[in-house]
Structure 1
């Protein structure tokens, strides 16, 4: 028997964690079915969601080891690059990045 943990966070600061004991040759799909998270959260489609083991993305057929942590990833609502650009525009060029701390007498950006 191996022990694994299946984790899903449907929203920020809301984490559902299920500890399971599985047979030796179990895969991620088995852990997902036995966790009960698919029944608790009907928006999870096992063939469309992204999953990982300890932060490394894996598929449903990945074989689990003892003490593995299976993580179910929710889709991003905002692309991180777009969010950074929007923050930069809102802050302005003088309040972000290299331009924040300007030494007296130095060139712009240093």
Structure 2
């Protein structure tokens, strides 16, 4: 039985600006982690495969997910801020400005307990 032909995939490191994109060839039964290792994008850096978020065409994947021909593997760094906390801060900032948009949020709500009204 002949060796199956390797498949072409792209690996994108999206943690730096501008993103780096590399074309690699991997075995037909390769996983997302295999493509990242073959690309060499994480070598010499402070990121490890376990610490990164991985995806294929913007959809989150595990390192052991299988690849298909012409997939684009994306390496995303760890989250810098918790999305819920960041949204709370943005809403509090809008509320604090006293604009009409900020006041809309205050309708039908009691003031937060940590606010002191005197």
TM-score, normalised to structure 1's length?
Answer: 0.73
Distance apart, 1:30 and its partner CA: 1.6
Runs of 4 or more off by more than 3 Å in structure 1? none
Specify every segment of 5 or more residues in structure 1 that has no aligned partner in the other structure, as ranges.
Answer: 101-107
Whether 1:18 and 2:22 are equivalent positions in the alignment is yes
CA distance in 1 between partners of 2:100 and 2:7 (Å): 52
Hey, what's the Cα distance between the residues in 1 that align with 2:100 and 2:20?
Answer: 39
**Root mean square deviation, CA, Å:** 2.5
1:99 to 77, 92, 104: 104
2:51–2:78 contact (8 Å) kept in structure 1: no
Give, in angstroms, the shift of residue 98 of structure 1.
8.2
**Gaps in structure 2 of 5+ consecutive residues:** 1-5, 109-118
Q: How does 1:1-110 map to 2 (within 5 A)?
A: 1-11=6-16, 13-41=17-45, 43-92=46-95, 94-96=99-101, 99=104
Shift of 1:49: 2.2
TM-score by length of 2: 0.69
Preserved CA contact (<8 Å) 1:8 1:17: yes
